A = this chain, B = another copy of it.
Amino acid sequence: MSAFKSDNTSAVHPKVFEALQKANDGYAMPYGDDEISVRLNDVFSDMFETDVAVIPCSTGTAANSLSLALFAGPVNSVMVHTDSHVYRDECNAPEFYSGARLVTIEGENGKMTPDTLRPHITKVDPRHTAQPSAISLTQVTELGTVYSLDEIKAMTSLAKEQGLAVHMDGARFANAVASLGCSAADMTWKAGVDVLSLGLTKAGAMAAEAVVLFHPEKQSQKVREGFLRQKRAGQLLSKQRFLAAQLTAMAEDDLWLEIGRESNAKTARLCSALREIDGTELADTIDSNMTFIRLQPDQIARLQDEGLAGYMYDETRMRICCSWSTTDAEIDRFIDLVRGA
C-alpha cells in the first residue's frame, strides 16, 4: 500500500471523522431533510461568496456526470481534454447521465487552449452532428498541472462567445485553489464557470462530492431538475446527514484549503529533493499535489520493494501524489530510496 499512489489511498481526515461522529446522534430526517443538509446551500454560498445550489454526490464520477447532464443533452456534445477523467476513467458515465457525446481535444500539459478548442465548436454541421453545448475543464488536470486564471478565462470567454456552458471538474479543487493563491470564487464563477464538481474525497473526506451550480436564481429549472436527476441516478442518500456532515466539515474554517496547501507543499518538498538526485527527471514546475516523474529502474525497484512507489504510467514514468495524511517520514524515506541511500 503506497502513500504516494494517489490521494484517495488516504484515510479520512480526523476533523471529518469527528463530524461524522457528531452527526451520528439520534434521529434525523432522511433524503436531505436533516438539519445539516438543509444548510448546505448556505455553507457553500459562503465559501463561494455568491449564491450556489449544492447537490451532494457519493462519487466524483456522479458529480461530473450530473453536472454535464444539466448543460448537455442527447443532441449535444461536450468538449473535453483527451486525457480528462470524464473521458478516460468514468466508463461512459457522462454519456449515460447526459446522453451527450464527449469530443476529445488534444493539448499539452493536460490543458485545452482556445486555439485547439475553437475549430471543434465553430465548424459543426448544424443538422447532421451533435451540437456543442458545454466544455469541461479539469482543474487540477490529470497531469497535475493547473490552469492559470487567465487560461481559464480565455477558455470561458470563447465558450460564452459560442453559447457554451462551462463545467469544471474539481476533483482536486483544493489543490488548484491553493496553487493559484486565489479564492474559490476567483477560480469558478468569477472566471466564467457555470457548474463545478467539487471533490472533497481526495482532500480527506470519506465519500463527499457535490455539484455546485452557480447563479441558481437564474436557472431554477436546472436546480429542480438537478435534484430529480440526483435521485434518478441513485445518488440521493437515505441518511444524507452523513454526507452533508463531511461536506460541511471540509468547508468549516477552510479546512479544504488548508489541506490543499499542505498536500501541495508536501509534494513540492518531495520534488525539490528529487530534482537534486541523479537520474530523476521532473516537470519544470510542480503546480499541485500530483506530478509525474521519471526515475531509473533501480530507483523504481527500491520504491516498489518498500511499497512506496507511485502509480507507474509507463516503464519509467511514475505518478506521485501527496495527501493530508502523507508524513514527513514517508517523504524522507521516498527521497532516501530514490537517492539509493
The interface bits of chain A over 278-308 (1 if a CB of B lies within 8 angstroms of the residue's CB, else 0) are 0000000000000000000000000000000
Contact B12 A90 (CB under 8 A): no
Q: Which B residues touch A92, using CB under 8 A?
A: 74-75, 77, 99-101, 130, 232
In the complex, whether A251 has a CB less than 8 A from a CB of chain B is no
Contact B28 A93 (CB under 8 A): no
Q: Which B residues touch A25, using CB under 8 A?
A: 11
Given contacts A75-B225, A207-B237, A207-B239, contact A231 B93 (CB under 8 A): yes
C-alpha spacing A36/B102, complex, angstroms: 35
In the complex, whether A233 has a CB less than 8 A from a CB of chain B is yes
C-alpha spacing A17/B20, complex, angstroms: 9
In the complex, whether A41 has a CB less than 8 A from a CB of chain B is no
Majority DSSP secondary structure for residues of A touching B = loop
Number of interface residues of A (CB under 8 A): 74
Name which residue of chain B comes closest to A242, CB basis: B206
The interface bits of chain A over 15-39 (1 if a CB of B lies within 8 angstroms of the residue's CB, else 0) are 0010011001111111100000000
Contact A11 B31 (CB under 8 A): no
Q: Which B residues touch A45, using CB under 8 A?
A: none
Name which residue of chain B comes closest to A16, CB basis: B24
Contact A30 B1 (CB under 8 A): no
Extra contacts besides A73-B225, A88-B128, A90-B231 (5): CB < 8 Å:
A1-B26, A9-B30, A75-B229, A91-B231, A93-B234
